[in-house]
Amino acid sequence: MTLQAPAVAPPGGSFEGLTGQLPRAVEWLRRNLFSSFSNTLLTLLVLALFLLVVPPFFNWAVTDATISGNSRAACTGSGACWTFIKLRLHTFLWGHYPASELWRVGIAALLLIVFSVPVMRDNVRHRSIYLLLLLTVFPLLAAVLLAGGVLGLPEVDTSEWGGLMLDVIISFVTVAGALPIGILLALGRRSQLDVVKYLSIAFIELWRSVPLLTVLFMSAVMLPLFLPHGVSIDRLIRAMVAFTLFNAAYMAETVRGGLQGVPVGQEEAAVSLGLGFWRVQGFVVLPQALRIVVPGIVNNIVDLFKDTSLVTIISLVDLLGAVEQALKDPAWLGLAKEGYIFTAALFFVCCFAMSSYGRRFERRLNRHRTGAH
C-alpha cells in the first residue's frame, strides 16, 4: 500500500481559490498591460525605467543615507543627508512657532480629530450638526489656541506661523468658507430673479478669469492701499479671504453641475407639496446634487491644498517656503534633492489621504442610495 501525504492548503485559503485567482490575475495583466503591441511596448519601457531608476534611488535614499548627527559634517557618505530634514523638521512642520507653545498646536490638532470623527464615521445620527460644529466652533477654538492673546495665552503673531501647519490652516479655512459660498452662488446662478442670477454669474466668471497669483498679489499689495489710514488687516487673513473667494467660484461651478443632474421632477414634486424654496433646496435638491459632485469637490480641495504653496510670493512661509529658506542656509547648501523629496512626500501623503477618504465617502453614499432603492 502506498501512503500519500495530504496536500496542505496555502495559509488563508484553499487550492481551488488560489488556482481560481491565477487566471484572473493573468487576464487582468493581459487586458490592462498587454492588450496590444503598443500597450505591451509601453509596459516594457515603464518596467525598464523602473529597474533603471529605483535601485539607484533606493541606495541613495536608504542604503547610503545619513540621518544621525547634528550638523552637515555628519553627512560624509554618498547617499542622502536626512540629517538636514531631522534638524529642520520643526521649521518644516510648524514654521517659527515657539517651541514652548507647541502644546497649543497639539491641542488644536486633537480638537480637529474630535470634531472630525463623528463626521467621518458611518451610521452617525445628526451628522449635519457635527459638520456645522466642525466648520464653525472648531475654527474659533483653534484660532484662540494658536493666536493667543486671551485667557492668559501668550500671543503668537501669524508671521511666526508656517510650514505644513500653515498649508493645513489655509486649506481648512478656505474650504469652510468656499463651500457654503459656492453653494449659494450655484443656487443664485439658477435663480429666477435676474438681479441675483446675473450678480452670481458676474462674481463666478470674474474670479474664474483671474489667476490665483494675481489674486494673492492684489490681497497683499494693492488692498492695503485702499484701506483707511490706520486700518490694517493681517496678511494671513487677507490671503485666506483671497483663497476663499477664488475657490468659491470653482466650488459654485462644481455644485451647479450637480444641481443640473437632479431631475426637474424632484423639485416640482416638492413644490407641489407646498414646500418653500429653501426647504426644497435644503431637503430635496442639494442632498442629491452634493452626492453627485463629491468627486469634484474632493478634487477642488486637493487642488486647493497644493495651491497653498503660492503664498510664498506674499512672504508667508508654508512647507515649500520653509524648505527653500533652509536651503539658502550656507550650512546646508546643495541639499535641494532631500528638501524637495521630503516636501513632495508630505504633499503626496496629505493629498492621497484626502482622495482616499473622498472615494470612501462616495462609496458610502452610493451604498446608502442603493439601499434606499
Q: Give residue-wise pLDDT tens across range 171-218.
A: 999 999 999 999 999 999 988 889 999 999 999 999 999 999 999 999
Give the pLDDT score at 151.
Answer: 84
pLDDT of residue 144: 93
Q: Grid coordinates standing for 24? A: 484572473
| Rounded distance between C-alpha atoms, residue 186 and residue 250, angstroms | 10
Residues 6+ apart with CB under 8 A from 311: 166, 170, 216, 239, 318, 321
Q: Per DSSP, what are the bridge partners of residue 163?
A: 318
Which of the two residues, 122 and 91, has the higher pLDDT score? Answer: 91
Give the separation between CA 33 and CA 90, rounded to whole angstroms. 44
**Predicted pLDDT of residue 369:** 61
pLDDT of residue 371: 55
The pLDDT of residue 21 is: 61
Amino acid occupying residue 195: V
Model confidence band, residue 22 (pLDDT cutoffs 50, 70, 90): low
What pTM was computed for the model? 0.84
Residue 229 confidence (pLDDT) above 60: yes
Summarised one tens digit per residue, pLDDT across range 272-325 is 888 787 888 888 888 888 888 888 999 999 999 999 999 999 889 999 999 999
State the fold for domain 83-97+156-372: MetI-like fold (1.10.3720)
